[in-house]
Amino acid sequence: MLREADSELLILTYQDNEALPDSIRKDIELNRTKAETSAYWANWWKVYGLGQVGTLQGAIYEDFEVVEAVDVSRAKFVALGLDWGFSNDPTALVAMYRQGDCLLIQELIYATGLTNQDIADKLRSLGINRAWEIVADSAEPKSIEEIYRLGFNIKPAQKGPDSVRNGIDILKRYKLQVTKDSTNLIKELRSYTWATDKEGKNTGVPIDLFNHACDAMRYVALNKLGVHNSGKYVVI
């Protein structure tokens, strides 16, 4: 810590962490090359590679509000969103409610190492049954079928062409409110950004990081808040 003018500022990086696994060390160093062509990765390398202070650029969800809780007596349940994960990526489950032009979201599950049976057990512990609709990532039809056979009303997300940006566009038409206990979702919303080119211009493509719970929200938006009409999604 720098306290006085004659003090020294000590900067530590991943290279100083002797306990850091080689796999993570290699992942960090691979991003050094990306920093040469992307403002986002240049900022990332500045923080995680060089240990310096960076700045968040191009946040996708710039405006969201953290609230105490969801008032289920006033808000209408929309659906649950589920993004699959296991070893490195977490399984993420969010509940979405709608009240006027507001979407209220609560994180329910965010954990690694969950089998489909574990997910089903957690759903039951949360009081979720077949009456609750779940919209899941369609990339794992086998998992969807297994959860369905375990007694849940689960359906694949209707992705379609350019579904990532379409889902984001739908969500951004609403005021987003997130419960304060949704700590991982809040971190994602604060970190999920658009990719930029080397000049810092927005490419219109999201960085595929910090987006597990965000993807779960997007699946609900695609299935429940928009309809496909001549290549465009419209709110219903």
Q: Is the pLDDT of residue 12 over 70?
A: yes
List domains and CATH numbers for the chain: 14-49 (no CATH), 64-235 (3.30.420.280)
Residue 228 pLDDT > 60: no
Closest CA to 222 of 147, 135, 142, 139: 135
Q: Please, what is the end-to-end C-alpha distance for the chain in angstroms?
A: 53
Which DSSP symbol is given to 119?
H
Give dist(CA 214, CA 92) in Å, integer: 9
- What tens digit of pLDDT does each residue of 78-105 get? 999 999 999 989 999 999 999 999 999 9
What's the pLDDT score for residue 9? 57
Residue 114 pLDDT > 90, yes or no?
A: yes
Confidence of residue 234 (pLDDT cuts 50, 70, 90): very low
Distance CA 236, CA 12 (A): 51
Residue 54 amino acid letter:
G
Q: Please give the average per-residue pLDDT across 142-168, as a whole number.
A: 95
**Res. 130: pLDDT tops 80:** yes
The reply to whether the predicted model has a pTM over 0.85 is no
* 12-16, 100-104, 152-156: least confidently modelled range: 12-16
pLDDT of 46-60, one tens digit each?
Answer: 777 887 765 556 788
Q: Give tens-digit pLDDT for 171-223.
A: 999 999 999 999 999 999 988 888 777 777 777 788 888 899 999 999 999 99
Q: Provide the pLDDT for residue 139.
A: 95
Say what the pLDDT of residue 54 is: 57
> Is residue 122 within 8 Å of residue 113, measured between CB atoms?
no
